[in-house]
Amino acid sequence: MSAGHEAHEATAQFHIRYDDLTQHAHVKQVTLPMVLSRVCFDSLWVNHPLFETRRQGIVPILSRLVLESEPIAVSFGSALEGRGRIEVAHEPAADGGAAALFMNGFADIYALPSRRNPNVSASTRQLVRIGRAFGEHVLTKPFGPPAERKVLRFDVAGQPAVPVAVHRRLRVEQNAQLPEGAQPLDARLEPDEAPWSFGLIHTDLNQHVNSLVYARMFEEAAVRRAARHGQNRGLIANKLSLCYRKPSFAGETLTCMLQGYVLDGAFGAIGYLAPAGTPLERANCSFQLQFRSLETHGHSHG
C-alpha cells in the first residue's frame, strides 16, 4: 500500500457485530472493508469536489482490495476507529494521457484491546492498530453505453482534467502469483472441491455479486485446501489481496482454481475464479491470501 501526493484525511467510529469476531476475539478480516465505506466514502468522497461527477454518471467501482490484520483480541463493547484518506489518481497511457482514473482509499483500523491479550491491563489499555485496508476504485460510467463507460478526463470546474497523482494497477494474473520464498503444496492451480454457485443472497443493488462475497468465499476455499494438506490448525487470515476484472451474477456457477503453499511456516493460497476452462488472465477475479497459525505463534484460546 502506498500513499500519493494528494491526501484528504478523516476519522470515523463504527461498531462491530457479535459475528465479526472469531472465538479469540480477533476481528475477522472480511469486517475490515467497513472502514473504507465509513471513512473514505461517507466522510471523504461525498465531500470531495469530484463527487460532482456522480451527476455525469461517473462512479468509483472497486477493482482491487487489500486487507491486512493483526491477531489482537479486541474489546467487543468498544467501537472500532478508522483513520483514512483518499487519493484521486491516473494510470499513465502510452500516448502521455491517462489509461484510467482512480479514487483510492487508504485506512488504518484501531481498537481497544481485550484484557485477554498478554501484558494488557486496565491501566495500559489504549487504542492499537489491528488492521489496514486499501481499496482501488476505477472511475467509470457503468450504466452508460459500452463505448462511453471508460472515463479518461474530468470535466468539473476548478479541478484538473487529469489528476497529478500516478497509480498503476495490478492485473488479475499478476495478483495470483506465488510470493517469493513460498513452497508450493500443490503442483499447479487445481479446482476447489466445491463449485461456486451464486444466488440472490450473494448480490447487492449493483445487480451483481457483491465484491466482499469473494473475500469470504476465497478464505473458505483456502481453508478447505489447507485441510487437504493437513495445514488447518488455528488459521487466521493475515493478508488478502483481491483483484477484480469482471462481475459475477446470480445464477452463475463458476470454478475456483487454487494453489496452496507454505511461507515462513504458515499456510497461504493463490487462485482465481472463472468459468471452467478459462485462463487466469481472463478470470473474473483473483486472490492471494496469507494466513497465520495461532498454534504456531503460541496464542491461547483465552
On the 0-12 / 13-18 / 19+ scale of CB atoms within 10 A, 52 is middle
Main-chain phi, psi angles of 68, to 5 degrees: -130, 140
Q: What is the CATH number of domain 172-293?
A: 3.10.129.10
Element holding 174 (H helix, E strand): helix 172-175
72-111: per-residue pLDDT in tens? 999 888 889 999 999 999 999 998 889 999 999 999 999 9
**pLDDT tens readout for residues 60-80:** 999 999 999 998 999 888 889
172-201 residue pLDDT tens: 999 999 999 999 999 999 999 999 999 999
pLDDT at 294: 80
**Residue 118: predicted pLDDT:** 66
**Collapsing DSSP states into helix, strand and coil, what is residue 126?**
coil
Q: Where in the chain is the domain with CATH 3.10.129.10?
A: 8-148, 172-293
Once rounded to an integer, what is the mean pLDDT over residues 126-155?
A: 93
Topology at the third CATH level for domain 8-148: Thiol Ester Dehydrase; Chain A (3.10.129)
